[in-house]
Chains A and B, each alone.
Chain A
Amino acid sequence: MDSTAAKLEPLFAFLSSSLSQLETTFYKVPGSHVVARYVKSSHQNDPGRTLLEIILFLFAVRTLLQSRTRAESPGNHFIQFTDKEVDDLVDEWTPEPLGQPLSEAEVADLAAVPVITGPNGAKPKLLGTTKPVLNFASYNFTGLAGQESIKERAIETLRKYGVGSCGPPGFYGTMDVHMDLERNIADFLGAEAAILYSQAFATISSVIPAFAKRGDIIVADRGVNFAIQKGLQISRSTIRWFDHNDLQSLEAVLESVEKDRRRRKGPLVRRFIVTEGIFEKDGAMVDLPKLIELKEKYKYRLILDESVSFGTVGRTGRGLTELYNVPATKVDMLVGSVSNTLNSAGGFCAGSKIIVDHQRINGTSFVFSAAVPALLAVSASEGINMLRDTPSILSTLQENIRAIRSILLRVDCISIPSHPASPIIHIHVRPAAPLTLTPSSSAASHSGKPSNPASIHPRDRDRSRDSHRDLRDKERERDRYGYRGSKHHREPDRDERKRRDDHREDRERSASVFRGDGGEKRDLPVEEKHEERAEKRPRYERDAEEAKEEAGPPQPAVRAETPEEGEI
């Protein structure tokens, strides 16, 4: 023992000397006394305290070093492979083809797309035919296509501005003609300001996410068009659906959202109602005054898509706001299409100046896209002037609609879900055979299912009632319009007021019909339901639409919550 102690003697001596040296150097460092005092005072002959300090220190270091981005960490699911294994996996992997070749039916559909030679209009010529055809397919509601005065204005503009705008609005792409069109639209509608997007389809899918963010609440109609669905999807807001064009259902949803909020005592979030003026999918019209009443009662903001109704209803085509005599300022964001009625290109959103200015920096497709070509903007302005100056355009349109409906309503095997004033007329084909009752069990299971967001029909309305209602509607309508004929020209103002009243009455009556039928539960054998726009809507359209629905049903915001999704 002694020998080992003796052997270690120099070592100890070295250790102690080096320690003391370390101590002196340590104390030479300025501020070291403070540290020493701190360590001593915190130690206080209690190792536990020192241990705690060290643990705290380590914890702080660990927290600082930890990666702060969740997406980076692959988590538990990451599998380690060797290079060889990765190579094998790479060799093994075979991707699906980028696009599946078209099936025969799809090829036929594509081939059936009508190709117009020469200008489009009421009677264009199709490729491969010599005789002009009657056109019930194009969005030429106001007949502005082919107006010589518009063409002349467009040519004038071409000679002054060229074709392209060659820049996004933020970077020298804003021309005086764009500002004029924006002002014209705002004045026409009676809104404070308007903003011009360069494609109608891309407008509302930019407007919605410019305002509605994650955590906000959007209450939307089940029957909204595809562009709105995309806008809802990209906004990442919480989405609640109400039954198609059913304001009672809307009220119920608003009530439940309100209850939810009161229960959770959450913070006040932005809330929006999103719906269409005249629905692209079936031509139904929303009851704007009632909608405004609800939105004001429950403190929502209204995003109204008037792509179809702008330029087609109202005395001079100012849309639903004119038809129902509601000031446009009551609609917070009024979105419309410049391409449908004004026969130009682009879309707009009208609202207060604050709302419009916000989109100039936050409307994605406004910021990142070139402005509309000048000649198209001027054509649209000219179109607005014509609508303003010639109210007969609209009265003729309405006469035509009535005329065609009066004929269609006599056909027994179809029903028309569209509103009497809607320029888009959808036709549902009904089976001619009498209805057969199926066991009630299937009916129960049918209505018990959660509603399908892709379907525009409410979950608790089954088809028999649907068709009953259609039948009754049709009868009523036939009584009203059937024998009026197109030669009775009436003062548009009065005519319209009358129809507005009719519409209110209609709503009440059909509501009572619903209630009367409410107890019964009947189901129909699965029937094929055709939707056609006017008589001529060809088959490919339906298929395309079905394909669309397959491709992207509206999805609630939850889908976007995963981190991978968020980091595009």
Chain B
Amino acid sequence: MASAASYLSAVSQADARARAHGTTPTSTPALSLSSSITSSSEDTVLDESEDYADGLSFPRNPPTSEQVFDTLHSEFGHCANDNYRYTSMHPQGAEIKPWEEKEPPYYILITTYLSYIFLICLGHMRDFLGKRFRSQFYRHLLPYDGHAPLNSDFDSFYTRRLKARIDDCFSYPVTGVPGRTIALLDRYSLDHNLTQILTGGTTRALNISSYNYLGFAQARGGVADAVEEGLRRYGVSTCGTRLEGGTSELHHTAEALVASFVGQEDALISSMGFATNSTIIPALVNKGCLVISDELNHASIRFGVRLSGANVRMFKHNDMDALEGLLREVISQGQPKTHRPWKKILIIVEGLYSMEGTMVNLLGLLQLKKKYKFYLFVDEAHSIGALGPHGRGVADYFNVSPRSIDILMGTFTKSFGAAGGYVSGNKALIDRLRLRGHGGPYAESISPPVLIQILASMASIMGVGPAALPSAPSLKHSTRSSDSTITLRQDMAEQYKYPGPAAPSQLPAWMDLPLNLRDGSQASRACGASPSTRATSHAGSRSSASSRTDTMAVFARMMRTRATPIVVVVVAYPATPLVTSRVRFCLSAAHTKEDIDLVLRACDEIGDVLDLKHHPDTADASSSRFLFRDESDGKTTAQCMVVVTAEFAATPRGVCGRIVNALDEPGASLSPSPQAAWRARLFLFVGFALMAGGLAGSVSVLVLKYLLHAYAEQYLYYGYANVAQNVALMLSAVILWISQSSGSEYEYNLSI
């Protein structure tokens, strides 16, 4: 809604900015045709030569004078159509569908494995020859001057022989704001991705790869202004750890705001999202405790659990039946060998799984929690801000009290455009973590500019208003112990009311957010933070949609080299299991409807070329085109997004030699698709059996037919050749087998 107030504020803002930088405004930006600060002259990111036609830097359809935007179109898209918004919330009483893996057709699996064998054999051959003839390039792989090789062979095999082929899709250097669009630094390689050479030029591309769900990654606007002010006031760093002279008043302010945002009593902020998990979990559990972890949990959780010394069990992704079975087993059996009861059982799940795009079955978990008395730790790294009618994460989405969850953890990297992470819970627990968490005395505290970005973005989601904050949080049951008598039903019925707008006293006194941020109007326009309109369809931030692919490198290249370049993330080992690399789309509130259409159209075309469409629902192109047509109902579009992206099944065919995929380990229970893997393994086994039979047969033929009959030398050759051929076949298979089973050293980071 373009209110007069926000219009005026935009004018005054642009004016103030121009004056602050000592330049006279060449035109009054708010009155110019585009009615936005896109034409702002001091913009250093965009140069004038950029193409106006691609719709990246400037909207294709200039906004009318009714519509006022105070963001750069390249950072935060101008989308004036309110039809595409919908509220992200769990439909009351709807059943939560269990997670299911879309399995690719067999021919794809087989060709995948074949391409594997081919690449691995080729790689080993190159290694074998290279070490002998060009040893100067292989020094780190060979014993050198009494040192053992730095990288054990298979350790780096993946990196050198498989990943190196698609390295042009990883670690792409960028510059500028990682907002709706992103500027890629052009690069090329002359030596098969060994070194990348920067040309010095940049390419602007539509960005569906950054974790910028709410579009707060901006270098302009009220939030950035607040950060600048904060930098001047507080400097860059607080010089120290939280417990050793590095605590600033800002930390307390931010922690209080975060606690009220997520609906917990207290919160603790740490300076790195990964470290939040890896330093907090050891303070929660120790020896004698059990951690039950979803099999797809993030590496930081694994890291933390390993440090804690607690026992670990895993359950099938999001499978509540499996979890219940496991719970019954572990509680009845107690600790291994001694059978003593567990001290605590902590279940760690993620709100939104970054690599699958699936959401936790929170209702099921809470039901189990009632019965089995475990503690629940929800990692909301991706869901906080992006889910729920109030943007408060999965608890908000499912409309359950956040206090029914013991620990809510999340990061600021994603929705808030900042860095770091938080952990929240009841006060006693958080105070304990302040003292006992590894981060308190040892890790540097989060720096002021980042804190201010958090404060300002969070406040603009909540809105800042005089509405008196309820002194006691409006939750009837205050402590966890007292609500044990209330049944779960009542618990859920008793709706937790999130505190309304943040009181001005919750923010630093100097922080003066512009009006459109204070009343939450920008936030509600941009990311729909007001209760009714949250997560617009084009801000379908919930689908950090993932798809099961073997190699999406070609896909990524084709997306990047389109007329309107699009950057997507190719996720491969070690972020996913070896066998299931994928392409991930991270949508953002900053994207416009046109952007989403562009992406879908690109997916459709490239999907046809690469034969990626294997989902039964989208097998024919018309149904996927349906997605673009049905634009009026935002919700459908958002859901269809997931379908489209989920359809990329494994397809290495036709891109031979460029494909990276690896076998998953035999017997590993981590594969997200046990059935498909099992079947593929059966095929492999049959193959092996045939090969072994062949070898045995050739030997017996040699003995029975040639040796026993004492043929002449030249005829014996046929027998020997037969055996040699079979031995060679077996050897190649053995190499494959060894190479896939020697990965045990790093098995713990094999999957996320």
25 contacts between A and B (CB under 8 A): A77-B339, A99-B283, A99-B425, A110-B435, A118-B234, A127-B249, A151-B231, A158-B449, A165-B419, A166-B178, A167-B178, A172-B174, A172-B207, A175-B175, A198-B419, A200-B443, A364-B749, A365-B272, A368-B300, A370-B411, A373-B418, A375-B231, A548-B441, A564-B312, A565-B311
Known A171-B571, A175-B173, A540-B243; 15 more pairs at CB < 8 Å: A95-B375, A99-B429, A101-B432, A164-B212, A167-B210, A172-B207, A172-B210, A200-B444, A301-B147, A361-B574, A362-B159, A369-B300, A376-B236, A565-B312, A568-B312
How far apart sit A344 and B449, CA to CA, in the bound complex (Å)? Answer: 11
How far apart sit A166 and B209, CA to CA, in the bound complex (Å)? Answer: 9
A413 contacts B by Cβ under 8 Å: no
Task: Name the residue of chain A whose CB is nearest to the CB of B412.
Answer: A164
CB-contact partner of A172 in B247, B411, B569, under 8 A: B569
Q: B328 to A548, Cβ gap below 8 A?
A: no
CB-contact partner of A368 in B149, B220, B575, under 8 A: B575
Residue-wise interface mask of A (81-124) relative to B, using a CB-CB cutoff of 8 A (1 in contact, 0 not) = 10001100110011110111110001101100111111111000
CB-contact partner of A354 in B150, B343, B346, B442, under 8 A: B150
Contacts of A174 in B (CB 8 A): 171-174
Q: A161 to B150, Cβ gap below 8 A?
A: no
CB-contact partner of A214 in B275, B312, B436, B745, under 8 A: B745
Q: A548 to B442, Cβ gap below 8 A?
A: yes
Among A136-144, A242-250, A320-328, A454-462, the stretch that binds chain B is: A136-144
Q: B434 to A365, Cβ gap below 8 A?
A: no
Contacts of B407 in A (CB 8 A): 98
CB-contact partner of B417 in A107, A164, A339, A354, under 8 A: A164
What number of A-B contacts does a CB cutoff of 8 Å give? 416
Residue-wise interface mask of B (409-422) relative to A, using a CB-CB cutoff of 8 A (1 in contact, 0 not) = 00111101111000
Q: A144: shortest Cβ distance to chain B, in Å? A: 8
Q: Given A202-B275, A354-B140, A361-B574, A163–B211 Cβ distance below 8 Å?
A: no
How far apart sit A102 and B238, CA to CA, in the bound complex (Å)? Answer: 26
Q: B236 to A77, Cβ gap below 8 A?
A: no
Q: Given A376-B447, A568-B306, A116–B375 Cβ distance below 8 Å?
A: no
Chain A residues 323 to 373 lying within 8 A of chain B, measured CB to CB, are: 337, 339-340, 343-345, 354-355, 358, 360-362, 364-365, 367-370, 372-373
How far apart sit A543 and B436, CA to CA, in the bound complex (Å)? Answer: 10
Q: A155 to B444, Cβ gap below 8 A?
A: no
Q: A202 to B235, Cβ gap below 8 A?
A: no
Q: B436 to A138, Cβ gap below 8 A?
A: no
B143 contacts A by Cβ under 8 Å: yes
Contacts of A270 in B (CB 8 A): 147-150, 152
CB-contact partner of A166 in B306, B413, B747, under 8 A: B413
Contacts of B305 in A (CB 8 A): 568
Q: A360 to B307, Cβ gap below 8 A?
A: no
B628 contacts A by Cβ under 8 Å: no
Residue-wise interface mask of B (16-47) relative to A, using a CB-CB cutoff of 8 A (1 in contact, 0 not) = 00000000000000000000000000001100
Q: A154 to B219, Cβ gap below 8 A?
A: no
Interface residues on B, range: 35 or more
Q: Given A119-B235, A354-B150, A540-B243, A368–B298 Cβ distance below 8 Å?
A: yes
Q: A504: shortest Cβ distance to chain B, in Å? A: 28
A399 contacts B by Cβ under 8 Å: no
Which 7 A-B residue pairings sit nearest by Cβ, starting from the closest? A137-B245, A201-B443, A299-B146, A369-B274, A99-B429, A199-B272, A99-B432
How far apart sit A74 and B332, CA to CA, in the bound complex (Å)? Answer: 13
B302 contacts A by Cβ under 8 Å: yes
B65 contacts A by Cβ under 8 Å: no
Q: B303 to A364, Cβ gap below 8 A?
A: yes
Q: A109 to B435, Cβ gap below 8 A?
A: yes
A179 contacts B by Cβ under 8 Å: yes
Q: Given A151-B236, A198-B419, A551–B286 Cβ distance below 8 Å?
A: yes
CB-contact partner of A120 in B246, B418, B434, under 8 A: B246
Contacts of A69 in B (CB 8 A): 667, 669
Q: A101 to B428, Cβ gap below 8 A?
A: yes
Residue-wise interface mask of B (427-439) relative to A, using a CB-CB cutoff of 8 A (1 in contact, 0 not) = 0110111111011
Q: B228 to A158, Cβ gap below 8 A?
A: yes
How far apart sit A301 and B143, CA to CA, in the bound complex (Å)? Answer: 13
A79 contacts B by Cβ under 8 Å: yes
Q: A176 to B185, Cβ gap below 8 A?
A: yes
A227 contacts B by Cβ under 8 Å: yes
Q: A268 to B238, Cβ gap below 8 A?
A: no
How far apart sit A114 and B239, CA to CA, in the bound complex (Å)? Answer: 13
Contacts of B212 in A (CB 8 A): 164, 166
How far apart sit A562 and B228, CA to CA, in the bound complex (Å)? Answer: 52
How far apart sit A273 and B145, CA to CA, in the bound complex (Å)? Answer: 17
Task: Name the residue of chain B whose CB is nearest to the CB of A300.
Answer: B147
Task: Name the residue of chain A whose CB is nearest to the CB of B279.
Answer: A201
Contacts of A99 in B (CB 8 A): 283-284, 425, 428-429, 432-433
A415 contacts B by Cβ under 8 Å: no
Chain B residues 301 to 359 lying within 8 A of chain A, measured CB to CB, are: 302-303, 305-307, 309, 311-314, 327-328, 331-333, 336-337, 339, 341-346
Residue-wise interface mask of A (416-450) relative to B, using a CB-CB cutoff of 8 A (1 in contact, 0 not) = 00000000000000000000000000000000000
Q: B298 to A68, Cβ gap below 8 A?
A: no
How far apart sit A94 and B302, CA to CA, in the bound complex (Å)? Answer: 26
Q: A166 to B244, Cβ gap below 8 A?
A: no
Q: A139 to B373, Cβ gap below 8 A?
A: no
CB-contact partner of B431 in A94, A110, A216, under 8 A: A110
B248 contacts A by Cβ under 8 Å: yes
Contacts of B151 in A (CB 8 A): 358
B547 contacts A by Cβ under 8 Å: no
How far apart sit A246 and B182, CA to CA, in the bound complex (Å)? Answer: 52
B237 contacts A by Cβ under 8 Å: yes
How far apart sit A171 and B176, CA to CA, in the bound complex (Å)? Answer: 15
Residue-wise interface mask of A (288-332) relative to B, using a CB-CB cutoff of 8 A (1 in contact, 0 not) = 000000000001010000000000000000000000000000000
B663 contacts A by Cβ under 8 Å: no
CB-contact partner of B746 in A164, A175, A213, under 8 A: A213
Q: Given A115-B248, A226-B442, A166–B217 Cβ distance below 8 Å?
A: yes
Q: B607: shortest Cβ distance to chain A, in Å? A: 21
Q: Given A99-B428, A343-B237, A545-B441, A90–B337 Cβ distance below 8 Å?
A: no
Q: Given A118-B233, A120-B246, A373-B418, A541–B441 Cβ distance below 8 Å?
A: yes
Q: Given A69-B669, A96-B343, A167-B209, A373–B173 Cβ distance below 8 Å?
A: no
Most buried by B among A116, A164, A343, A567: A164
How far apart sit A338 and B264, CA to CA, in the bound complex (Å)? Answer: 33
